[in-house]
C-alpha cells in the first residue's frame, strides 16, 4: 500500500486491538500472508481499509504483533517448565501439555507460524522466528538427550528424528483443533503423550 494512503495511527482500546488482531490472524491463517491484503482483513473486520490504517501501519505490523505475542507467551510457559527441575519424561509431558494450551489460546497464530516461519525469518523484522526455532530445538533435543543418558528413554533412540516427529505431531493439530471442542487441551495432550511415550500396541 503506498505510504501516502496511510493515515496517522491512533490508539485503539486494548479490547478492540485484540479483536482486530484476532481477525487478522484468522485471515492470515486461512489465506496465507502473501495473499492477504489489508482490504481483506478490513472486510473481515467489517470496516474500511483506510480505517484499519488508523490502528496499524501495515499488514506486516499486524503479523509481527500476532506472532511475537504468541511466542512471548509460549516461552513464558516453556521457560517455567524447563526451570522446574523435572525429570526428562516429566519435562516432555509438560512441554507437550503447554504446547496444546498454546494451540488452544493462539490456534491461528500457530497455523501461521507453521506455514510462514521459514519464509518470514529471512526478513530482518522476523529474524526472531529463527532465533525462537533454534531455542525450541535446543530445549527439546536437550531433554531427549538427557532422557537417553538417564536411561529413561531407549538407548537406540534417534533424538533428532524423535524431536521432529513429536514437534510436527503436536503443532499440526492447529490445522484441526477448535477451542471449546469435545476435548480440553490437557486431555488431547494426555492422549498424544500416551501414544508417543507408551505406543498404541496392546502390551502382552
- The pLDDT tens digits for 66-80 are 999 999 999 999 999
pLDDT at position 13 is 79
Cα–Cα dist 151/169, whole Å: 24
Task: Return the DSSP state at 2.
Answer: -
Confidence of residue 6 (pLDDT cuts 50, 70, 90): very low
Q: How far apart are the first and last CA of the chain?
A: 64
3-state secondary structure 71-93: HHHHHHHHHHHHCCCCCHHHHHH
- 67 vs 6, residue with greater confidence: 67
Least confident residue range of 49-53, 125-129, 142-146, 155-159: 49-53
The residues, ordered by sequence, that sit 6+ positions from 21 with a Cβ below 8 Å of its Cβ are: 62, 65, 66, 69
For residues 28 and 56, the answer to whether their CB atoms sit within 8 Å is: no
Confidence of residue 11 (pLDDT cuts 50, 70, 90): low
Among 163, 165, 144, 166, which residue's Cα sits nearest to residue 155?
144
pLDDT at position 69 is 95
State the pTM of this model. Answer: 0.86
Query: Residue 175 pLDDT > 80, yes or no?
Result: yes
Amino acid at each position: 500500500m503506498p505510504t501516502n494512503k496511510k493515515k496517522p495511527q491512533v490508539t485503539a482500546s486494548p479490547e478492540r486491538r485484540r479483536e482486530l488482531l484476532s481477525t487478522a490472524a484468522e485471515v492470515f491463517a486461512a489465506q496465507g500472508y502473501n495473499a492477504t491484503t489489508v482490504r481483506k482483513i478490513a472486510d473481515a473486520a467489517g470496516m474500511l481499509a483506510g480505517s484499519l490504517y488508523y490502528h496499524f501501519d501495515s499488514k506486516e505490523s499486524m503479523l509481527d504483533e500476532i506472532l511475537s505475542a504468541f511466542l512471548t507467551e509460549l516461552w513464558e510457559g516453556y521457560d517455567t517448565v524447563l526451570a522446574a527441575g523435572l525429570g526428562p519424561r516429566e519435562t516432555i509431558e509438560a512441554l507437550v501439555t503447554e504446547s496444546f494450551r498454546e494451540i488452544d489460546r493462539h490456534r491461528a497464530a500457530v497455523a501461521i507460524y507453521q506455514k510462514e516461519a521459514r519464509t518470514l525469518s529471512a526478513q530482518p523484522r522476523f529474524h526472531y522466528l529463527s532465533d525462537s526455532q533454534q531455542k525450541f530445538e535446543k530445549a527439546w533435543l536437550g531433554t531427549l538427550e538427557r532422557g537417553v543418558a538417564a536411561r529413561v528413554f531407549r538407548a537406540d533412540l534417534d533424538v533428532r528424528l524423535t524431536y521432529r516427529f513429536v514437534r510436527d505431531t503436536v503443532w499440526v493439530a492447529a490445522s484441526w483443533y477448535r477451542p471449546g471442542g469435545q476435548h480440553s487441551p490437557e486431555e488431547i495432550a494426555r492422549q498424544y503423550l500416551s501414544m508417543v511415550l507408551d505406543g498404541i500396541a496392546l502390551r502382552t
